[in-house]
Amino acid sequence: MVMPLKKITEVGLIERFAKALKPCDPSVVVSIGDDAAVVRGAKGCYRLYTVDMLVEGTHFKKGESYKKVGYKAMAVSISDIAAMGGEPQYALISVGLPKKNAQTEAQKLFKGAASCARKFNVDVIGGDTNCSSKLVIDCFVAGKVEEKNLALRSGAKPGDHIFVSGLLGGSILGKHLTFEPRLKEARFLVKNFKVTSMIDLSDGLGVDLNRLSYASALGAIIFEDRIPMARGVKKIKNALFDGEDFELLFTLSPEDSFRLLRMMKKNKFAMSFYQIGRMTDFFSGVRMMTRENKVEEVGCDGFKHF
Amino acid sequence: MVMPLKKITEVGLIERFAKALKPCDPSVVVSIGDDAAVVRGAKGCYRLYTVDMLVEGTHFKKGESYKKVGYKAMAVSISDIAAMGGEPQYALISVGLPKKNAQTEAQKLFKGAASCARKFNVDVIGGDTNCSSKLVIDCFVAGKVEEKNLALRSGAKPGDHIFVSGLLGGSILGKHLTFEPRLKEARFLVKNFKVTSMIDLSDGLGVDLNRLSYASALGAIIFEDRIPMARGVKKIKNALFDGEDFELLFTLSPEDSFRLLRMMKKNKFAMSFYQIGRMTDFFSGVRMMTRENKVEEVGCDGFKHF
């Protein structure tokens, strides 16, 4: 069985209140429960809204470079917009920071956030700064996506092939502060293929494949020997459960999958996509075929042996 | 002299970085420095974006009712949209909260925020929940305003009459957690008058009149005997410097001012507006005529005697 939502979202309390917060306005296309909220915009476009908060001690260590923390805050939200197939446009940044050297530290924080924003053509148009004993930064990003290019978590079909956009695991050793949101890759995909579902890997392939499967009301099977592992990562559990990879996890129909793989073979390709499995029916759950040809259930906190 | 911006914005560090964060996209009409950011929308409308962070120990006491804190977080951001003459539409809420009883407490927080959102027709469409040793809540609100109804801080003209929408001072005794954003009042004003400038009173009339004057490149004179004081507030300095009144401060041409005052006399009027002074030239600064007919400079942290 696919993990029940309440087990999946230990980290996403707000999703439990989604029902109570059901939107009233018909302009809301997707509310709580995807990488970003979707509302109707102008000229065949949707508007996208997302927010991510980073807290000292949870998302980065005390004493971490403020510039890197600022960069990460912006990158995490841009990654959410990418996972919807969209383009980020505007950002607002809220910061709570310790009084000591507040101005110097704030400058570093905004410098980091602005460097990431500039790289992805995002304008920082507002924010709020406050005193707080521990550093906290919350980054809101608004974006847009053509209606036909919107990619949700919920659209995968049985038999669709599952892909990831890069190497997994070990992000906590440093990459989580410097990663590049897969915006270019996501835009390439939605413009050239029918991306049936997509999510960014914030909590690890194990958790996020369960999220995508649950949203699509399907199961999934992935193959251990196809999962691309980051340099230095030796154990499959790190590739699945370390989290903060911020790679794209997405599905394509078998036809589109073959077309993508052919394109990658033919051309000099600056992007990497790895086909790691396929979607199955809901009741077979989320599973992995090991190198020893054993089938294991992939939970949110580890494997369960049958 | 009007207070220099750097003195005004002790509480708004981000405004100091506004220059470095200058937006590139021509769709951005107003960036950092007003109550909300303004970008071009569809069909003669602008879109409005604002965010406000509340931190335990700064904006509310430890142990304060989570429901009230949730309400306040939403109300503060709705008040910002009102101060632009706009209507709030969507909200995203980020929360950092202590692990202990996280779920029960989060529920109270969202309940409070949702009750305020519902009252003003705002849909909560996203958010993020995290662990944090101290409670922190950051509320982003998106809204819209007809182009002709947009009210900025910067549009006041010399001779314009200055108004506030309610009684000032003493908010910290409780009102700051339960206040009603002046959305109805702001919409009434922009629909019926040419509101030349507007701001909401978050840091007190003293600070915010300096902000509005600076943005409009003007000075101002207010009259002590006209400043409406909240029940129990005895000293004028409390009405000017307590902060968190969340009333509207706005300016109208003398013609519009007389028309508003006539309307208020003629009709049974559920709203209250108080004319407290008028805009002057930049070099005369922000001043108050006392009950003893003395003229004092109104700074951001108190009076300066000439």
Residues of chain B numbered 57-96 and touching chain A (CB < 8 Å)? 57-59, 89-90, 92-96
CB-based contact, B17 to chain A, within 8 Å: yes
Q: Which residue has the higher pLDDT, A303 or B58?
A: B58
List the CATH number of the domain containing A138. 3.30.1330.10
Q: Are residues A269 and A233 in the same domain?
A: yes
Q: Are A112 and A67 in contact (CB under 8 A)?
A: yes
Distance from CA of B80 to the nearest CA of A (A): 12
Q: Is residue A12 part of a domain?
A: no
Q: Are residues A136 and A165 in the same domain?
A: no
Residues of chain A numbered 153-212 and touching chain B (CB < 8 Å)? none
Minimum Cα–Cα distance from B89: chain A residue:
A25
Q: How confident is the model at residue B2 (pLDDT cuts 50, 70, 90)?
A: very low
Question: What are phi and psi for residue A37, nearest 5 degrees?
Answer: -80, 150
Q: What is the radius of gyration, based on Cα positions, of chain A?
A: 19
Distance from CA of A12 to the nearest CA of B (A): 6
Q: Provide the residue range defining the domain that includes B286.
A: 151-305
List the CATH number of the domain containing A285. 3.90.650.10
pLDDT in tens, B258-289: 999 999 988 777 889 999 999 999 999 999 99
Q: Give the largest CA-CA distance in chain B.
A: 58
pLDDT in tens, B219-259: 999 999 999 999 999 999 999 999 999 999 999 999 999 99
Nearest CB among B32, B131, B134 relative to A125 is that of B32
pLDDT for the residue A11: 41
All residues at 6 or more sequence positions from A272 whose CB lies less than 8 Å from its CB, including other chains: A165, A166, A228
Q: Domain boundary at B100, B115, B148, which?
A: B148
pLDDT for the residue A7: 47
- Our CA angle for B291, B251, B122, nearest 5°, is 120
Reading chain A (306 residues) residue by residue, the pLDDT tens digits are: 343 444 444 445 666 677 777 888 889 999 998 999 999 998 899 999 999 999 998 888 888 999 999 999 999 999 999 999 999 999 999 999 888 877 888 889 999 999 999 999 999 999 888 888 889 999 999 999 999 999 999 999 999 999 999 999 999 888 999 999 999 999 999 999 999 999 999 999 999 999 999 999 999 999 999 999 999 999 999 999 999 999 999 999 999 999 999 999 887 778 899 999 999 999 999 999 999 999 999 987 766 654
Question: pLDDT over 70 for what percent of chain B?
Answer: 93
Q: Is residue A20 part of a domain?
A: no
Q: Domain boundary at B128, B148, B168, which?
A: B148
Q: What tokens appear for A304 in the block?
A: 């369960």
Q: Are residues A66 and A186 in the same domain?
A: no
Nearest CB among A32, A110, A125 relative to B125 is that of A32
Residue bearing tokens 């300016």: B251
Q: Are residues B160 and B301 in the same domain?
A: yes
Q: Are residues A179 and A105 in the same domain?
A: no
Please state, rounded to an integer, the average pLDDT across all residues of chain B: 91
Minimum Cα–Cα distance from A54: chain B residue:
B130
Q: How many CA atoms lie within 13 A of A26 on its CB side?
A: 0
Q: Are residues A156 and A250 in the same domain?
A: yes
Task: Give the closest residue to B202 by CA, choosing from B173, B184, B186, B181.
Answer: B181
Strands (E), chain A: 28-30, 37-40, 45-55, 87-97, 123-131, 136-146, 161-164, 197-200, 219-223, 248-252, 274-280, 286-289, 295-298, 303-305
Q: Is residue B189 part of a domain?
A: yes
Q: Is residue A286 part of a domain?
A: yes
Q: Domain boundary at A119, A148, A177, which?
A: A148
Q: Are residues A172 and A285 in the same domain?
A: yes
Is the Cβ pair B140, A52 closer than 8 Å?
no
Q: Is residue A11 part of a domain?
A: no
Q: Is residue A14 part of a domain?
A: no
Q: Is residue A23 part of a domain?
A: no
Q: Are residues B142 and B155 in the same domain?
A: no
Q: How many CB pairs under 8 A join A and B?
A: 213
Split into its structural domains, chain B has a count of 2
Most confident of B53-62, B156-165, B268-277: B156-165
Nearest CB among B124, B128, B142 relative to A52 is that of B128
Using an 8 Å CB-CB cutoff, list chain B residues near A93.
14, 51
Q: Is residue A158 part of a domain?
A: yes
CB-based contact, A136 to chain B, within 8 Å: yes
CB-based contact, A270 to chain B, within 8 Å: no
Q: How many CA atoms lie within 13 A of A56 on its CB side?
A: 17
Q: Are residues B205 and B292 in the same domain?
A: yes
CB-based contact, A138 to chain B, within 8 Å: yes
Task: Give the closest residue to B113 by CA, choosing from A95, A21, A92, A34.
Answer: A21
pLDDT for the residue A151: 98
Q: Which residue has the higher pLDDT, B203 or B269?
A: B203
- Tell me the Ramachandran region of residue A169: left when phi exceeds 0, alpha when psi lies from -120 to 50, beta otherwise: left
How many H-runs (helices) and E-runs (strands) does chain A carry?
Answer: 8, 14
Q: Are residues A156 and A253 in the same domain?
A: yes
Q: Are residues A288 and A210 in the same domain?
A: yes
CB-based contact, B261 to chain A, within 8 Å: no
CB-based contact, B264 to chain A, within 8 Å: no
CB-based contact, B18 to chain A, within 8 Å: no
Is the Cβ pair A21, B124 closer than 8 Å?
yes
Question: What are phi and psi for residue B45, nearest 5 degrees?
Answer: -115, 150
Question: How far is it, in rounded angstroms, from Cα A60 to Cα B186?
Answer: 42
CB-based contact, A37 to chain B, within 8 Å: yes
Q: Are residues A183 and A287 in the same domain?
A: yes
CB-based contact, A53 to chain B, within 8 Å: yes
CB-based contact, B128 to chain A, within 8 Å: yes
Question: How far is it, in rounded angstroms, from Cα A118 to Cα B178?
Answer: 39
